[in-house]
Amino acid sequence: MIQRFAILLPYFFQQRKRLIGIAATTVLLSLVSIAGPWPIKLLIDYALGDSPGLWGMSRWTLVMLSATSVLLLYALGALFDLLLSWQWMASGQRMVYGLMVDVYDRALRVPIGKRSRNVGDLLERMFNDTWCVYTVATDALISPLQQTITFVGIVIVASQVDVQLTLLSLVAAPAIAASVWWFGPRLKNRAKRGRETRAELTSFVHQTLTSLPLVQANWAQSHHQKRYHALADEVVATAQKAVLTNKSFGLVNGALSETGRALILLVGGIGVLQGSTTVGTLVLFMAYVRTMQKSAGKLLNTYAKLRKIEASVERLQEVMDDAGPSRDAGTVDHIPRAETGASIQLERVTYHYLPDVPAVSEISFRVAPGERIGIVGQSGAGKSTLAYLIASLAEPNEGRITINGVDLRKVSLSESRKQVSILLQDAFLLPISVSQNIAIGRPGATQVDIEKAATLAGAHDFISALPDGYETVLGERGSTLSVGQQQRVAIARAFLRDAPIIILDEPTSALDVGAERALLSNLEQLTAGKTTIIISHRLTTLEGVDRIFVFEDGRIVEQGTPEALRSEAGHFATLNKAQCLTEQEACT
């Protein structure tokens, strides 16, 4: 189990100076706790009892000393407790923030093929599970230190007063340890299931709200409400089971602890009646046994708490593992630039989303600098996967990809992604201004550059007509705009980035015929001096490309110039004829 917590060690190390200060304050707080009951013992035995005065002091002086000691110990305890809280605020929040930043960074680096986790689940891990580093520091480092010092200190001090009562105060410890061992795995499972059900509910709400037009258009509100209630009921039921397990654990330990106190009261009371011990000593031990059992319980509970926290650590480890090894640096510093565009070469590239089910298989081809390539094929043929691989959004399981002769695995991700500007099928517009959306891949772009890219993408006119023009803040996922307008903004964004390679994945799928023709007329200017790959179902979008690759079942089944492929009785010719008949265009 301890190995699972290794991912948290760097965050403890970053705060090591503060943690040392916390440990020192904890020791002082423990010493105050050990001294706490002594003023009452001195008062009962030496000021109010029959024992002679202590150190020659009068009974009145002992009463004043006892009262003053109580106030002094309280003041010291409050001071150390306040200092401890302040230190935790400074270090604990930093540890949580550091872990949260790293989880966010890893989530951003998860390859497309491994993005199986829904948004709600990731949010649950990022904002709730990351608190495990704070809890581990508290419950596995500082609290055990405090409880150990308190427990051992009390045992040492108490044994100097009465050995028999000291041994009796330890009698319940083995039984409490057994209950912790039995409840530990059950507490972990309850905690893990609780986090999973909350993540499912969060994800469902997120999906519903982001697809509200679809839900309303299909009159699916009733179904979603029922589903929401079912998930909420499951969250409540899981929480109830967790509370029941926790309460049962507390009740069992409480019963064992009280049994130990009852024994102390019984044996100590008999000792007072027989004159073998004093009332002050009995009161001291009753206070000590409560503190000892509380400390022992917290020490033993550390295991149970760690079992519950273990579920969060495992969930964070899964996100870390999804991102794979970091490629922040490579053996090659940079990819050399070509005069026009960049060369691309794929050598026997294979990629799997699922084991033994290749999305692309044994793909090999070379694209010359400045060449324009068209890719066609049925849905699921592997066209978009190819785009992801070239853009370093995924890494091949087999084979290699080079740009200008440099293997992409030998350079950092930032360097490889600088080479490619990609237009994805989904526009992915953020709730920020239109200008910021267009310039997201080139933050330093001037307004002139932004408007030029928008004009060539056919977006300038409708952007200018918006209430605040280019400064209009869009709705969630670009809902302020129509689908066609969203796509044109995304096209402007892709071209503004000005990378040597540009990949357009279905650039005209949401455009009407007029908008498509306007875009195609500007495409030559937009792609001038770049290596261009256009993926499209519409063959009209591929006019002017140098070569076309036809994909089927993850393989290239045909390739050649558009004219050569039309003249052959192959897949492309069949697809071309079908589209010509459907769109009532002349076949050439």
Whether residues 238 and 125 fall in one domain = yes
If phi over 0 gives left and psi between -120 and 50 gives alpha, with beta otherwise, what is residue 333?
A: alpha
Domain limit, last residue, from 268, 295, 323: 323
Q: Is residue 495 part of a domain?
A: no
Run of H or E residues at 398? strand 398-403
- For residue 156, the enclosing domain spans 2-323
Residue indicated by tokens 């010359």: 368
pTM, two decimals, is 0.64
**pLDDT at site 217:** 66
What value, to the nearest 5°, has the Cα angle with vertex 489 and ends 111 and 395? 15
SS3 sequence, 482-525?
CHHHHHHHHHHHHHHCCCCEEEEECCCCCCCHHHHHHHHHHHHH
pLDDT digits (tens, 9 = 90+) for 105-122: 877 777 666 665 666 677
Domain limit, last residue, from 269, 290, 323: 323
Whether residues 404 and 314 fall in one domain = no
**pLDDT at site 465:** 92
Whether residues 82 and 135 fall in one domain = yes
Percent of the chain with pLDDT over 70: 89
pLDDT digits (tens, 9 = 90+) for 278-324: 787 888 777 777 787 777 767 766 776 777 777 778 778 877 777 66
- Number of independent structural domains in the chain: 2
Whether residues 312 and 356 fall in one domain = no
Which is nearest to 115 in space by CA: 323, 399, 279? 323
| CA 514 to chain CA mean position, Å | 44
**pLDDT at site 586:** 43
Q: Report the distance separating Cα 100 and Cα 486, nearest Å.
A: 32
Q: Report the distance separating Cα 288 and Cα 162, nearest Å.
A: 12
Q: Are strands 344-354 and 398-403 parallel, antiparallel or unpaired?
A: antiparallel
Q: Is residue 441 part of a domain?
A: no
What sign does the dihedral 408-413-416-420 (CA atoms) show? Answer: positive
Identify the CATH number of the domain in which residue 354 sits: 3.40.50.300
Asked if residue 328 has pLDDT above 70, the reply is no
Whether residues 348 and 249 fall in one domain = no
Q: Which two tokens stand for residue 467?
A: 């209430």
Whether residues 212 and 319 fall in one domain = yes
> Three-class SS of residue 140?
helix
Which is nearest to 42 in space by CA: 29, 28, 30, 52? 52
pLDDT digits (tens, 9 = 90+) for 442-461: 888 899 999 999 998 888 99
What value, to the nearest 5°, has the Cα angle with vertex 383 and ends 337 and 321? 80
Q: Is residue 137 part of a domain?
A: yes
Q: Lowest-confidence range among 128-137, 208-217, 514-523?
A: 208-217
Whether residues 317 and 369 fall in one domain = no
Q: Is residue 79 part of a domain?
A: yes
Q: Which amino acid is at 544?
A: G
Which is nearest to 538 in space by CA: 576, 565, 503? 576
Domain limit, last residue, from 262, 288, 323: 323
> Three-class SS of residue 364?
strand
Residue indicated by tokens 């890719």: 375
Q: Is residue 435 part of a domain?
A: no
What single DSSP character describes residue 473?
Answer: B
Find the mean pLDDT for residues 407-426. Answer: 86
Q: Is residue 429 part of a domain?
A: no
Whether residues 167 and 297 fall in one domain = yes
- Contact of 303 with 180, CB cutoff 8 Å: yes
Q: Is residue 527 part of a domain?
A: no
Residue indicated by tokens 């480092």: 141
Whether residues 380 and 313 fall in one domain = no
- Give the residue, 214 or 352, on which the prediction is more confident: 352
Q: Report the distance separating Cα 516 and Cα 537, nearest Å.
A: 13
DSSP string, 108-154: HT--GGG--S-HHHHHHHHHTGGGHHHHHIIIIIIHHHHHHHHHHHH
Q: Is residue 209 part of a domain?
A: yes
Mean pLDDT, rounded, of the chain = 81
Whether residues 378 and 412 fall in one domain = yes
CA distances from 46 to 51, 60, 166, 281, 373 (A): 5, 10, 22, 11, 99
Which residues, other chains included, contact 262 with Cβ-Cβ below 8 Å and sequence gap of 6+?
none
Q: Report the distance separating Cα 278 and Cα 44, nearest Å.
A: 9
Residue indicated by tokens 């000393």: 65
> Three-class SS of residue 226?
helix
Residue indicated by tokens 């290239």: 556
**pLDDT at site 118:** 63
pLDDT digits (tens, 9 = 90+) for 118-129: 666 777 777 777
Whether residues 313 and 346 fall in one domain = no
State the Rg of the chain over Cα.
Answer: 35
Q: Band of the pLDDT at 263, cuts 50, 70, 90?
A: confident
Whether residues 301 and 389 fall in one domain = no
Identify the CATH number of the domain in which residue 29 sits: 1.20.1560.10
Find the mean pLDDT for residues 145-164. Answer: 81
Kindly tell me the burial class for residue 336, based on how many C-beta atoms sit within 10 Å of its own C-beta (0-12, 13-18, 19 or more). Answer: exposed
Most confident of 273-287, 313-327, 375-389: 375-389
